[in-house]
């Protein structure tokens, strides 16, 4: 293992924020991780996966451990199902494309999500009517106290909307080292009801879509609405969609009859934060080298050279303005570091 000093983290976070790590190491194996965590040499450690869900606001005064464990394997296969395993450091989208090349179904709606496989269960990534938990089988995680590997099944992960045990009481206690998915090998169960997918497939002239067609439709929708982090720094949705009571939603509707919503339960309604932010006047607003994306108000962007604190301040201004106009608190989805 090669420990480097004073390394810029700009290439390692999709926001493209230029902060420095006091020390940096790329961990290629579980043994690497065990030796780092059993050593007394590094009192402060910071785990970095795909860097796609964080806003870095300061230099990291620690050993930054870049999770770079690679490999994909077929664990078992029956007539209709396959269980596959990916190591944590595989790029999520390349992994999804690999499943599609093998005609394994289940992850197509999650195409083009930035980040790595290992961080996907932490916030139960989701898009276009599908969440990671729908095909998740299990994950292996290194317990940082015992340095033993533990396996978590779906129930144990306690998945919820952009949430799991790894964001709650297991936070900071484990490193996910690999994830297993249960996918279909035939008679794929397509999820094409999400409005934008239906119309995209229609436009593509596809009547009987394959899993590969659904992936193409998702890629084209995402490319239209969401900025490519390689061109414009961003972390996808900066905020979560708030869940409010039915009473609160009725009040909102009296003032804003066109407010969109999804039913969560008998008592709760989810309101798209993108709509709230747009109607608070922030969509497409630029403040020098950062701002709010012009095609999706949920996404804050770094046009190049922005400081993490500038973006953090903008996010607070958005939260305050949304709260003032709509009386709704929106929470950040990205981790502020
Ligand atoms: N909307 C606006 N203005 C905007 C953005 C959205 O009015 O600027 C309205 C849309 O018109 C629509 C509603 O909000 O009525 C929902 O918009 P969309 O379908 O684009 O989805 P979203 O709620 O904004 C969520 C996820 C995305 C995911 C999409 C598609 C969250 C926080 N975000 O966004 O996830 O791709 O659904 O399933 O749940 C991510 O997490 O990084 C991410 C991009």
Q: Indicate if the pLDDT at residue 274 is higher than 90.
A: yes
Last residue of a domain, one of 67, 87, 119: 67
How would residue 33 be classed by pLDDT, with cut points 50, 70 and 90? very high
Residue 193 has pLDDT above 90, yes or no: no
Find the 144 Cα to ligand 1 centroid distance in Å: 35
Could you give the angle at the alpha carbon of 207 between the alpha carbons of 201 and 210, nearest 5°?
75
pLDDT score for 1: 84
- Match 């790894």 to its residue by tokens: 166
Give the tens place of pLDDT for each residue, 207-245: 999 999 999 999 999 999 999 999 999 999 999 999 999
Place of tokens 């008592």: 267
Neighbours of 39 (CB within 10 A): 11
* Partners of 142 in the β-ladder: 149, 175
Average pLDDT over every residue of 15-43: 95
**Per-residue pLDDT at 200:** 95
Helical residues (DSSP H) of 168-307, grouped into ranges: 195-203, 211-225, 246-255, 273-279
DSSP string, 37-62: HH-SS-SSEEEESS--SEE--S-EEE
- CATH number, domain at 90? 3.30.465.10
DSSP helix/strand/coil, 238: coil
Report the pLDDT averaged over residues 185-208: 92
Looking at every residue in the chain, the average pLDDT score rounds to: 96
Please give the pLDDT value at position 270: 94
CATH of the domain at 272: 3.90.78.10
* Position in ligand 1 atom list of the atom nearest CA 226: 44
pLDDT per position as a tens digit, 105-138: 999 999 999 999 999 999 999 999 999 999 999 9
CA of 129 to the centre of ligand 1 (A): 11
Task: Calculate mean pLDDT across residues 277-290.
Answer: 97
CATH code for the domain of 44: 3.30.43.10
333 annotated active-site:
yes
Site residues for ligand 1, CB cut-off 6 Å: 127-128, 226, 236-237, 240-241, 260, 272, 274-275, 278, 283, 296-298, 333
Asked whether residue 195 carries a pLDDT value surpassing 80, the answer given is: no
| pLDDT at residue 194 greater than cutoff 90 | no
| Residue 240: DSSP 8-state | P
Is the pLDDT at 196 greater than 90? The verdict is no
Mutate to test the pocket of ligand 1, among 93, 233, 237 (most ligand atoms within 8 A of CB): 237
Q: What is the DSSP string of 264-290?
A: -SSSEEE--HHHHHHHTT-TT-EETTE
CB 166 within 8 A of CB 185: no
pLDDT score of 88 more than 80 = yes
Q: Which residue in the list 52, 162, 178, 215 is annotated as catalytic?
A: 162
Domain termination site, one of 172, 196, 225 = 225
Structural domain total, the chain: 3
154 and 258 in a single domain? The answer is no
Neighbours of 29 (CB within 10 A): 15
Distances in Å between the alpha carbon of 206 and those of 164, 211, 214, 323, 333? 36, 12, 10, 42, 34
């Amino acid at each position: 293992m090669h420990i480097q000093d004073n390394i810029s983290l700009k290439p390692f976070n999709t926001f493209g924020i230029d902060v420095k790590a006091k020390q940096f190491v790329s961990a290629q194996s579980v043994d690497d991780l065990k030796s780092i965590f059993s050593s007394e040499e590094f009192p402060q450690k910071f785990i970095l996966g795909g860097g796609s869900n964080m806003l870095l606001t300061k230099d990291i005064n620690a050993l930054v451990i870049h999770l770079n464990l690679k490999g994909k394997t077929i664990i078992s296969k029956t007539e209709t199902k396959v269980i596959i395993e990916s190591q944590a450091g595989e790029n999520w989208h390349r992994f999804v494309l690999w499943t599609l090349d093998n005609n394994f179904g289940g992850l197509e709606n999650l195409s083009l999500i930035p980040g790595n496989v290992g961080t996907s269960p932490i916030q139960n990534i989701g898009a276009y009517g599908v969440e990671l938990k729908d095909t998740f089988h299990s994950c292996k995680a290194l317990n940082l106290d015992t340095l033993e590997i533990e396996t978590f099944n779906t129930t144990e992960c306690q998945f919820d909307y952009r949430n799991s045990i790894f964001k709650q009481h297991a936070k900071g206690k484990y490193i996910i080292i690999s994830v297993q998915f249960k996918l279909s090998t035939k008679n794929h169960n397509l999820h094409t009801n999400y409005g934008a997918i239906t119309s995209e497939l229609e436009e593509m002239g596809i009547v009987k879509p394959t899993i590969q067609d659904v992936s193409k439709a998702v890629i084209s929708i995402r490319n239209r609405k969401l900025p490519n982090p390689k061109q414009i720094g961003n972390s996808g949705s900066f905020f979560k969609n708030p869940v409010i009571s039915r009473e609160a939603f009725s009040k909102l509707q009296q003032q804003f009859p066109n407010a969109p919503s999804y039913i969560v339960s008998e008592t709760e309604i989810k309101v798209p934060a993108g709509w709230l932010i747009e109607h608070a006047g922030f969509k497409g607003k630029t403040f020098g080298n950062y701002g709010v994306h012009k095609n999706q108000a949920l996404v804050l962007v770094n046009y190049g050279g922005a400081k993490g604190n500038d973006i953090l301040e903008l996010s607070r201004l958005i939260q305050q303005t949304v709260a003032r106009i709509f009386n709704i608190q929106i929470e950040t989805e990205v981790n502020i570091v």
